[in-house]
């Protein structure tokens, strides 16, 4: 209601874009699924989107790796620089224009099971279609809202982060500027991501989809950990890039992904 109140009668009201920032495996996809369901039950047409949907194609990711042969953080998908920012801007701009009945568009999806778990952009023929009028867009990602830091800060964490940090400068204009409200899932220890990611890969393999081995998961997650150690403290202290404190919800969770009573906010304590 607050979002709609900003507009006059007869105006085309763009959807409210809610950003969900949370580390891998912490439950953000499940949360987004639940919120999407609740919005639809309440009669609010919603769409879901992940920063993963904008990863470079497998071919483009290989080219990025070849341009940065000494940087393990850019060898595979994940860190800033491994996303198609133009595609993300075009997609978000198109989504917020879906204000009338009959308007439709397809939104990108990424196939994480392709190439033995290394991933590739899904074929457009399987991209889901979104119809207007759209009232809510739920946009989630592990690094959503990260702010670039002084080079000396990131180099202390890992010298390889310097180029990632430079790449991050373009992300605010590509993503964060579209987001009016935020949900941040706050974790205690970035090392928990490994176990959570392993659980996800085991589930993927159990469903008959090709996934990474345990050793590959450890190697894969190790390429994200420097960014978590560098950027999460600022995210938790200052909020996401460009966020309004009045439109920010922080949920603290433990290593079992349970809300922490007495944290920033905990529904189980109500």
Residue 206 has pLDDT above 80, yes or no: yes
Which run of H or E residues covers position 106? Answer: strand 104-106
Residue 112 has pLDDT above 60, yes or no: yes
For residues 146 and 241, what is the distance between their CA atoms, to the nearest angstrom? 6
**Integer CA distances (angstroms), 233 to 31, 58, 188, 213, 237, in order:** 22, 31, 11, 30, 6
Tell me what the mean pLDDT of segment 106-110 comes to. 97
Instruction: Please state, as a whole number, how many other Cβ atoms lie within 10 Å of the Cβ of residue 252.
Output: 19
User: For residue 266, what pLDDT is reported?
Assistant: 47
User: For residue 213, what pLDDT is reported?
Assistant: 80
| Inside any domain, residue 56 | yes
In the chain, what percentage of residues exceed pLDDT 70? Answer: 93
User: For residue 17, what pLDDT is reported?
Assistant: 97
Instruction: Please state, as a whole number, how many other Cβ atoms lie within 10 Å of the Cβ of residue 215.
Output: 8
- Cα-Cα-Cα-Cα torsion 249, 252, 255, 257, nearest 10 degrees, comes to -50
Q: Is 178 helix (H, G, I), strand (E, B) or coil?
A: helix
Backbone angles phi, psi at 110, to 5 degrees: -120, 135
Tell me what the mean pLDDT of segment 200-211 comes to. 78
Residue 114 has pLDDT above 70, yes or no: yes
Which run of H or E residues covers position 139? Answer: strand 136-141
Highest mean pLDDT among 183-187, 211-215, 254-258: 183-187
**23, burial (CB in 10 Å: exposed 0-12, middle 13-18, buried 19+):** buried
- What's the predicted TM-score (pTM) here? 0.91
Tell me what the mean pLDDT of segment 207-236 comes to. 88
For 121-163, how does the pLDDT look when each residue is reduced to its tens digit (9 = 90+)? Answer: 999 999 999 999 999 999 999 999 999 999 999 999 999 999 9
User: For residue 264, what pLDDT is reported?
Assistant: 58
| Inside any domain, residue 162 | yes
Q: Range of 214's domain?
A: 2-265
| Inside any domain, residue 270 | no
User: For residue 78, what pLDDT is reported?
Assistant: 93
User: For residue 233, what pLDDT is reported?
Assistant: 96
Q: What is the CATH number of the domain that holds 159?
A: 3.40.50.300
The number of domains in the chain is: 1
User: For residue 263, what pLDDT is reported?
Assistant: 59
| Inside any domain, residue 72 | yes
User: For residue 3, what pLDDT is reported?
Assistant: 73
User: For residue 107, what pLDDT is reported?
Assistant: 97
Bridge partners of 186, per DSSP, are: 252
Residue 270 has pLDDT above 70, yes or no: no
* pLDDT band, very low/low/confident/very high, at 10 (cuts 50, 70, 90): low
Mean pLDDT of the chain: 91
| Inside any domain, residue 11 | yes
């Amino acid at each position: 209601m607050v979002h709609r109140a900003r507009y006059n009668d007869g105006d085309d009201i763009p959807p409210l874009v809610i950003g969900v920032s949370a580390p891998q495996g912490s439950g953000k996809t499940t949360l987004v699924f639940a919120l999407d369901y609740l919005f639809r039950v309440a009669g609010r047409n919603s769409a879901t989107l992940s920063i993963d949907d904008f990863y470079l194609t497998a071919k483009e990711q290989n080219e990025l790796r070849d341009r940065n042969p000494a940087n393990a953080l850019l060898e595979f998908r994940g860190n800033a620089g491994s996303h198609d920012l133009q595609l993300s801007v075009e997609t978000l701009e198109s989504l917020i224009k879906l204000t009338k009945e009959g308007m439709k568009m397809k939104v990108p999806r990424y196939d994480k099971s392709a190439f033995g778990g290394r991933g590739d952009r899904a074929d457009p023929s399987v991209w889901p279609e979104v119809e207007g009028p759209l009232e809510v867009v739920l946009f989630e990602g592990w690094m959503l809202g990260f702010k670039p830091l002084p080079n000396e800060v990131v180099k202390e964490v890992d010298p390889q982060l310097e180029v990632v940090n430079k790449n991050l400068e373009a992300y605010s204009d590509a993503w964060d500027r579209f987001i009016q409200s935020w949900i941040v899932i706050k974790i205690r220890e970035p090392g928990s991501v490994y176990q959570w990611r392993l659980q996800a890969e085991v589930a993927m393999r159990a469903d008959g989809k090709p996934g990474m081995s345990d050793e590959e998961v450890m190697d894969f997650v190790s390429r994200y950990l420097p960014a978590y150690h560098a950027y999460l403290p600022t995210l938790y202290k200052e909020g996401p890039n460009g966020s309004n404190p009045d439109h920010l919800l922080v949920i603290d969770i433990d290593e079992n992904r349970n809300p922490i009573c007495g944290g920033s906010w905990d529904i189980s304590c109500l």
